[in-house]
Amino acid sequence: MKQLYKIILLAVIAVSVAVPTSFLFAQESVDLGVQSTGLLPSNPFYFLKEWGRGFRKLLVPGAVRKAELELLVLNERAAELQKLEEITGGNSEALAKAVSGYQEGLERLLENLKNLKETSENPNVDRLAENLISRGVRHFRLLEDLSAKLSDGDELADTISGVLNKLAEALAVVPGQLDNQEKFQERFQAVVEDWKDSFRELRGAEIADRLEDLLSGEARAAAAFLRENLLLQFSGRLEGSALGGEGLGDLSSVPGDKLRRLRMIDEVREKILNPELRNELNILRQKILKEAEEAQNIGEDEAKLAIEEALKLLAEVEEKVAARPSVKSSIKELVERAKFNLAQAEQFLAEENFGGAFGQATAAKAALKNVWNQLTPESFDAEAASERVQQEYDALRAAIEGANIDEVENPKIFTLLSETERRIVELAKLVERDAAPETISVSLRTVTLLLSTIEQLFHVVTNPKPQAAELSAEPISAPVNEVRDLPAVRQTSVLQPEVVNISINEKGFEPATIKVTAGAKVVWTNKDIRPHWPASALHPTHNLLPGFDALQGLSEGESYSFVFEKAGVWKYHDHLNPGLVGVVEVE
């Protein structure tokens, strides 16, 4: 019998290697490291390949080795799925079979992982953790890319959604069971940085957000810190692109969970100060929210779940706040804003405005995540983090000097370099005197944001686009409600856009009606002790002019701005007091 097994196994191997791949992966395809996929699930002889895999599993000893083999086979299945999608042009039946095989393999892998008793101190487990993060994150991107190509209502899209949830469970085993937190963060960050994707940090943060939902304790804090760091890097690159005259890009078409992306956009908005970028993000947010509503992705259940998640996080945040002898006023303001958003969400839910309820709940959660990150800084080594950003700064400065960038022609880069150097010195002093963890955390977030901004601006300067549009850049951002004294780096153009200021008081908007030219920026500033919320008609959907929505009440002294690009007569109101109305006529 053993001799017969050997003969069959040799036959399987021979058939597998004798079927070469006839198509090369596209340049932007996810690189899974599989040279040849061999037989595909659509091939009638695919069962031979499956037999071969079964025999290999029988011959492998030990829990760790079995988990390694399951991961290897799972990666082969992912490559088969990728190849099948390329050569069939999206044939649902063939893809469904491949996805089903991947799902079964993933469930076996997850079972093996949960049964492991050792940690990454064992070199074999360390290698397993490394490969699991490297391959698992790439599989995420592959499956999201595939799902984005399917039509709304396709059953396969729902299946892939379930597979992604299981894949997140598998990845969560690394920080939750196998690895120390710092090593997990380093592994994950390295994989994301290797992506050839303009929105890599955002997509990586969405995966980290999934992991955070599944974890608890220190592992959850590590996932939260990773997500926050990736979002800071993404926000910094957005700022750098704006300073270099580039726009936000077509983020709405990027594959991924749209509802989760809304939450990530809300968190990015918390970090951005550039008003043009905030307006772009507001418009993008409204567009994604509208698309989700039209696709019936947001109903009563989704709105209720979003509110429940925000309320749960609010309780956790308030518990942490109560446990501290003192907290900064900025943290208290964020908590109060979150409570306000939640009150609005519950009101929208009662009115059966489920999209509005979901949007307000995600805004509340974004503010609370900001607080959580400031109150949970234990997940990183402050001294190591300080050394890391110093090394990143040195490398970036050397690259800029090596590129012979002229300081006179590109003053923004050198101004930001000087500011970053000052911030790094401040961070080192905070670490040296063992300052409060939340203080060090805020300083580190600011430096991370600055470095990402400079890196992207350096890329824009060294890779100029022809006829790039001029942009009047505002001061670069810092974590909201924290460090706001970053340098104002501006570039001027011959034609400056019109800016019109409107005050809000207890009587309403002054002036209530204005006329502007296309491209004008209108700034609303609240002069009243009560909050006011300027937003486009119609109440309460605010959908007459997408993006024209402060998305929250403005406290006394706070401002909101919007750039009117489209001609027309745009009516608006105070969402908190719909009787207060105004009109912006754009010529």
Of the candidates 180, 261, 264, 175, the one whose C-alpha atom is nearest the C-alpha of residue 223 is 175
* Cis? peptide before 61, omega within 30° of 0: no
Report in angstroms the alpha-carbon separations of 139 from 66, 124, 315.
Answer: 20, 22, 34
Q: Give percent of the chain above pLDDT 70.
A: 86
Query: Distance between CA atoms of 33 and 384, rounded to whole angstroms?
Result: 32
Give residue 551's domain range.
499-586
Report helix, strand or coil for 463. Answer: coil
Structural contact between residues 247 and 241, judged by C-beta atoms closer than 8 angstroms: yes
CATH number at residue 539: 2.60.40.420
349 domain residue, yes or no:
no
Per-residue pLDDT tens over the stretch 200-259:
999 999 999 999 889 988 888 888 888 988 999 999 888 887 766 665 666 777 888 888
Domain end residue (candidates: 131, 147, 179): 179
Residue 397, in any domain of the structure = no
pLDDT per residue as tens digits for the range 150-176: 876 688 888 999 999 999 999 999 998
| Residue 487 pLDDT level (bands cut at 50, 70, 90) | very low
> pLDDT digits over 415-426, tens only?
999 999 999 999
Produce one character per residue of 301-334: b if its CB has 16 or more CB atoms within 10 Å, e if not.
ebbbebbebbbebbeebeebeeeeeebbebbeeb
Q: Does the pLDDT value for residue 184 go beyond 50?
A: yes
Query: Does 121 reside within a domain?
Result: yes
In the listed set 160, 179, 198, which residue is the last one of a domain according to the structure? 179
Q: Is the dihedral of CA 45, 49, 52, 57 positive or negative?
A: negative
Residue 36 in tokens: 């040849």
Q: Is residue 479 part of a domain?
A: no
Cβ atoms of residues 449 and 271 within 8 Å: yes
Residue 350 covered by a domain:
no
Tell me, what DSSP letter sits at residue 225? H
Does residue 392 lie in a domain region?
no
In a domain, 560, yes or no: yes
Is 172 within the bounds of a domain?
Answer: yes
Asked which of 157, 179, 201 is the last residue of a domain, the reply is 179
Number of independent structural domains in the chain: 2
